[in-house]
Amino acid sequence: MTHNKRILFVCLGNICRSPAAEGIFRAKAEARGLKLEFDSAGTGGWHAGEAPDARMQKTVLSRGIDIGNLRARKFSVDDFDHFDLIYTMDTDNLKNVLKLARNNADRGKVKMLLNESFPESNKSVPDPYFGGQRGFDEVCDLIEHAADNVLKRVVNEQG
């Protein structure tokens, strides 16, 4: 039996970029009536159990999406079993996730998110944590663009 495609977003802390991606993709998928599952995780566990960074919550909320109920968790090797696609936000996250991959099937699930917007560029979603508001806006713009590309393709696949 087939299941709805499951997509995981991974960044470092799971409090800025990946929860924003989870919320933005979920809202856009729901708006298009697509049946997909989304989750997010961090390669580091320092913020596990925390809500998304208040600055990112506010930035995403200004676009009509509430991510206040999400809670950070650390990426686990079991995630390779549950998810069909694992999108990493930057090249460090990519390296750290690939280090945990057990085989080629695991490795084949891991992709850089921005390759959906800029194919084969391996561009990173910049870490906004130590910067100002512009960085948070830029992260959301990049994620929205990637989400539109991915979901357009899923619409074609799901019919």
Contacting residues toward ligand 4NP, per CB under 6 A: 11-17, 42, 46, 127, 129
The alpha carbon of 76 is separated from its chain's Cα centroid by a whole number of angstroms, namely 15
In this structure, what DSSP letter does residue 29 have? H
Residue the block writes with tokens 């084969």: 120
Smallest gap from residue 146 Cβ to ligand 4NP (A): 15
Which residue of this chain has its Cβ atom nearest to ligand 4NP in the complex? 13
Single out the catalytic residue among 26, 53, 127, 140: 127
Least CB distance from residue 84 to ligand 4NP, whole Å? Answer: 22
| 128-136 contact pairs (CB < 8 A, 24+) | 128/16, 128/17, 128/55, 128/56, 129/13, 129/16, 129/53, 133/55, 133/59, 136/16, 136/55, 136/56, 136/59
Task: Answer yes or no: 11 catalytic.
Answer: yes
Nearer to ligand 4NP (CB atom), residue 10 or residue 150: 10
Q: Smallest gap, in angstroms, from Cβ of residue 40 to ligand 4NP?
A: 9
Active site residues: 11, 17, 127
